[in-house]
Chains A and B, each alone.
Chain A
Amino acid sequence: MDQYLIAMGTFACIYGLMTISLNLSWGITGMVNLGIAGFFGIGAYTSALLTTGLHWPVALGIVAAMVAGAVAGAGLTFATLRLRDDYLAIVTLGFAEIVRLVIMNELWLTNGSDGISGIPAPFPRTYGYAFALPFLGLMLMVLGVCYLLSTRLLHSPYGRVLRAIRDDNEVTAVAGKDVVRFKLKTFALSTAIAGAAGALYGHYTSFIAPDVFAPLLTIYIFLALTIGGTGNARGAVLGAFILIAILESSRFFPHLMPGFSAVQHAALREMLVAVVFVVCLMFRPDGLLPERRVKRTETPRAGDA
């Protein structure tokens, strides 16, 4: 049972990295990343391929995964930065699908739907606590660093610019801040973190396959962030842990509803996720730990004199 809790804690940390990533882009700057699963996948495969194929050290693999995530993120936003945020949503949604397509079909590189196994861990993979505990420790550390980093960012002058960008694109552009550069950097940073999460996932489980980062994963991360509260890293991390608890407890779902097939149970579970997500956004859009912000008094637009 303790082993199980440790494993769940580790997964929650991995999800937590992704919610922090999403919080950086969506929660803070308002740039929506509907392809976060794709960046997770890119990170996972980059590190897995480099450490298994070219025998790079795990740490270097993770760094490479972050670079790959950042490059892909910067490349994608480049086309849409000057446009409305809707366009980024379309592009990122499409991107995740393309990543999946490539990984499924470039068998020579990725082994297709069979996935990659035997991915090395940062320290010897023994049974019992000797591996699981240190890895959880490592994950908590990484999560802590990302958490501190993003709270620091949030409260820096840079963070204030980011939030101003989220609240009003035009105002910040008028204020002379280089909005485009800020947005590009933030998005690349967030996708780098998603890449790192993917890499760590691979190094933890030793096996990755395309179905790990199905579009559903993206919805999970949005759900976690919505539950926890957008705009602050505490909410993001809390949301990830609650999400894992919900997902794990829904494993007992089939016992409550006998008489359905496995496919039907899976379908019910995903329907439930969709409903919970929509209900959260409708009735508690600020989450459990809402961002504490100064109440902005709306000013009339020019010409409303």
Chain B
Amino acid sequence: MDILSQLVQLVINGLLSGAVLAMPAIGFTLMFAVLGFPNFGISGHLAVGAFAGWVLNAVYGWSIWLVIPCGFVAAGLVGVATDALVFRRMRTAAPITLAIISVAVTLFLENALRFGFGNTLRTYTVPLTRDWQVGGFRIGTQQVETAAWSLCVMAVLFCVLRYTQLGRALRATADNRALAGVKGIDTQGIARLVVFIGMGLAGASGILLGIDTSIDPLIGFRIMLAVFAAAVVGGLGSVPGAVLGAFVIGIAEEVSQIVLPAVYKSAVGFVLILLFLTFRPSGLLGERR
């Protein structure tokens, strides 16, 4: 395979993985916009969703496509629970304190999963499919399906945010929480909803990630850097930015394999974070700061 078609193949792979990465990146950026701190709990919740899906799929035999919404709900509910138990009691604390606490939340969730399921790698039961061959390029049907799932979820979310009164209220709360309260918006309720959606997106993406490979309690931890990178590259707090950032990171990670060993894939995200914070801290589509 010549270098050009190799590049095209890598870009295709990058687009497909970027589509899945976009979900937790949206969750991270949305929670940052509304709650005002980087919620590192996202990696623990991603793993919770992945394992909730695994139990339903591998233990109870539910179809994988049915299980994805369940992973969303499970992670979303755990998110709302941690929010009620910990974060809501600390709304006046400094954002950075909340960020540190969210690291502890991830530590707790990952170890709760480790306690219940151990460190073994587990896989979902999915129907085997053959990859497509299109003009000499190999396209994994599995990856296309997960990417399509992710795009559907994002389309729904986009429409809700853009065209409904609830979506407007959510964006208004992100813009100016005090003013939103004066206008009659239940900002506490919006915050709870955002945690549900944000952690739910992470949970569903945990299943999509696991379909492709396998899952273990650290599944979220491993793609954490890519999630942050997508959010920062797109502009922290911007939802469309997170989507764009996810595609940028997905493609950059794949293309980097031409020159870098595969183990350094996640370093690409880190380098991009540093570059963007140095030269364009508001990201590609960010407006704040």
Contacts and interface: CB of A to CB of B under 8 A. Distances in A.
Touch A–B, Cβ below 8 Å: yes
Interface of A: 26, 30, 32, 34, 76, 78-80, 82-87, 89-91, 93-95, 97-98, 101, 104-105, 215-216, 218-219, 222, 261, 263-264, 266-268, 270-271, 273-275, 277-278, 281-282, 285
6 contacts: A101-B263, A101-B264, A105-B264, A274-B104, A274-B105, A278-B105
B273 A94 contact: yes
Contacts of A277: 101, 104
B107 interface: yes
B107 A282 contact: no
Contacts of A26: 96
B96 A30 contact: yes
B43 to A, nearest CB: 10
A274 B107 contact: yes
B284 to A, nearest CB: 16
Given A80-B277, A267-B115, A278-B104, 13 more contacts: A32-B96, A86-B95, A87-B281, A94-B224, A97-B224, A101-B264, A105-B264, A222-B100, A263-B114, A263-B118, A271-B108, A281-B101, A285-B97
A87 B97 contact: no
Interface of B: 32, 37-38, 40, 86, 89-90, 93-97, 99-101, 103-105, 107-108, 111-112, 114-115, 118-119, 221, 224-225, 228-229, 232, 236, 261, 263-264, 266-267, 269-270, 273-274, 277-278, 281, 289
Nearest to B222: A97
A98 B115 contact: no
A86 B99 contact: yes
Contacts of B236: 86-87
Nearest to A230: B97
The interface residues of chain B, by DSSP majority, are classed as helix
A263 B111 CA distance: 10
A250 to B, nearest CB: 13
B97 A98 contact: no
B278 A94 contact: no
A211 to B, nearest CB: 13
Contacts of B86: 278, 282
Nearest to B82: A278
Given A86-B37, A87-B277, A105-B264, A267 B112 contact: yes
A101 B266 CA distance: 9
B273 to A, nearest CB: 6
Contact of B111 (A78, A97, A104, A271): A271
A274 B270 contact: no
Interface centre among A89, A94, A98 (most CB of B within 10 A): A94
Contacts of A216: 107
Given A32-B99, A94-B269, A273-B107, A83 B93 contact: no
Contacts of B104: 219, 274, 277-278
B40 A98 contact: no
B108 A274 contact: yes
Interface centre among A95, A98, A218, A278 (most CB of B within 10 A): A278
Given A97-B266, A285-B93, A79 B274 contact: yes
A266 B111 CA distance: 8
Contacts of A267: 111-112, 114-115
B46 to A, nearest CB: 15
Q: Which 8 A-B pairs have the closest CB atoms?
A: A274-B108, A267-B115, A267-B114, A267-B111, A79-B277, A270-B111, A79-B278, A274-B107
A97 B225 contact: yes
B119 A32 contact: no
A214 B281 CA distance: 29
B115 A271 contact: yes
A263 B38 contact: no
B248 to A, nearest CB: 16
A229 to B, nearest CB: 14
A34 B37 CA distance: 14
A266 B270 CA distance: 30
Nearest to A90: B228
Nearest to A216: B107
B111 A98 contact: no
B260 to A, nearest CB: 11
Contacts of A281: 90, 93, 97, 100-101
